[in-house]
Amino acid sequence: MLKIDSVTKNYDKKCVLQDLSFTVRTGEIIGLVGENGAGKSTLLRLLATIDKPSGGTITLHHLSFDKDRNTIRKSIGYVPQDIAIWEELTVKENMQFFERLSFKSKSLNELRNLCVEMNLHKWDEPVKALSGGMKRKLNIAITLIHDPEVLLLDEPTVGIDLKSKKEIGSYLRSQAKEKNRMIIYTSHDMDEIKELCDRVINIGEDKFYQELLQKSGKEIISI
């Protein structure tokens, strides 16, 4: 279980997050919604161990994000909104490059299977020749090389075609249910949130997204 307990984040004198508390269970996909500037990306950066909270605690099972930071990083996969891959390299070369930086070793066949599972078959194509949807899939595949238990995705389907969105959503559902990953997913697409997520966290004071989701039958928590 991932537990966020009374977490606060300040930048100088500005409070971006205040007293956030919720849990994520194994095999669960949590949707994170809220207006721009509500702190969704900030929260993901805290959970990705890129930033540290100003107050409160975060734990993964029995491990503290404060005391066991280096160990926890091996269990975290983070996909930022900006695509972070090498455009001049092929899909294969990107996967090999990031595998060398990974916490786990993977064979070439295992790396290719990660891509194939997401319907990314253009193994020898340079990334610059890929569609936006294919690039997003590669970004996710790279993040999964070290088999993270927690997967954090910040707008992973923004600006891509509907087919790629559906394929990514289907793949993430299988990762949660079959691999028991905990997934936190931000999106402004409420149809995507309703279809993909088990529960929804509404972050910030604006209740617009919460009201949109009221009839979806999803459990919605405002924090």
Q: Which residue type sits at 206?
A: D
Q: Number of folded domains in the chain?
A: 1
CATH of the domain at 59: 3.40.50.300
183 found inside a domain: yes
Q: What's the confidence (pLDDT) of residue 220? A: 75
Q: Please check whether residue 28 lies inside any domain of the structure.
A: yes
Please report whether residue 140 resides in a domain: no
- The owner of tokens 């009374």 is 6
Tokens of 153: 């995705």
Let me know if residue 54 belongs to a domain. yes
Q: Is residue 142 in a domain?
A: no
Domain enclosing residue 37, as ranges: 2-84+148-222
In a domain, 40, yes or no: yes
Give domain status of residue 108, yes or no: no
Residue at 86: amino acid letter: W
Q: Is-above-0.75 flag for pTM?
A: yes
Question: Which residues on adjacent β-strands are paired with residue 62?
Answer: none
pLDDT at 132 (0 to 100):
92
Per-residue confidence (pLDDT) for residue 159, from 0 to 100? 87
Examine residue 204 and state whether it is found in any structural domain, yes or no.
Answer: yes
In tens digits, what is the pLDDT along the chain, a chain of 223 residues? 999 999 999 998 889 999 999 999 999 999 999 888 889 999 999 999 999 999 999 999 989 999 999 999 999 999 998 888 999 999 999 999 999 999 999 999 999 999 999 999 999 999 999 999 999 999 999 999 999 999 999 999 988 999 999 999 999 999 999 999 999 999 988 889 988 999 999 998 777 777 777 777 777 777 7
